[in-house]
Amino acid sequence: MKRWKVPAVGVIREESGNDPFHVLISCLLSLRTKDEVTEIASRRLFQLGKTPQAFLKLSIPTVEKAIYPVGFYHTKARTIHGVCRDLLSRFHGKVPDSLEDLLTLKGVGRKTANLVVTLSFKKPGICVDTHVHRISNRLGYVKTKTPEETEMALRRKLPKRYWIEFNDLLVPFGQNLCRPISPFCTRCPIERFCSKVGVTHHR
């Protein structure tokens, strides 16, 4: 694991000194976007401002230009403005530290909320992205059809002491070894424990 690159949101967290607002915004940018694009776009955006107040002084086109070419950048620019307004009007400009409050922010789903809670506040949560969903099912540890179903299944089955680090482990594992198509099973240190559910071809 140590030889693989830290996921983009983790990099932004480290660079910001664990600022929950930076984690939240970079996570919103990361949805359906490659890590390298997320990282660069996040840095460009945070050069223009570092707080909800500063972001609201930026026009939507300015935000769009800063975050391009992240996926759905038009929608994400408007979402960022909406989240900033909400943070200022309802949470005194601070990112809330509870899953329930984060989920009331428009555009913030369970993946983003769980990641902010675990990364920034070190509170129990299970962030399920495409890698966590795929690998948990591929291993045969859960049998689910959606990321939300996977999160709930993991909450029931996975010991709580592993919740926070589960995403940190499986994301780089899925990016580098347990690929969606043709995973590197011959290199995998846990291959003998894997049920290989859905794997039709591997290397």
**Is 111 assigned a catalytic role?**
yes
Which residue shows structure tokens 């099973």?
185
Name the DSSP letter for residue 158.
S
d(CA 202, CA 72): 32
**Is 129 assigned a catalytic role?**
yes
Spatial neighbors of 124 by CB under 8 A, at least 6 apart, are: 117, 118, 160, 163, 164
Q: Which two tokens stand for residue 63?
A: 């935000």
Q: Pick the catalytic residue: 19, 35, 76, 129?
A: 129
Stated length of the chain? 203
What is the tally of helices (H) and strands (E) in the chain? 11, 0
> Is-contact 185 203, C-beta < 8 A?
yes
Name the DSSP letter for residue 192.
G
Q: Pick the catalytic residue: 111, 123, 143, 196?
A: 111
d(CA 106, CA 151): 20
Q: Which residues are catalytic?
A: 111, 129
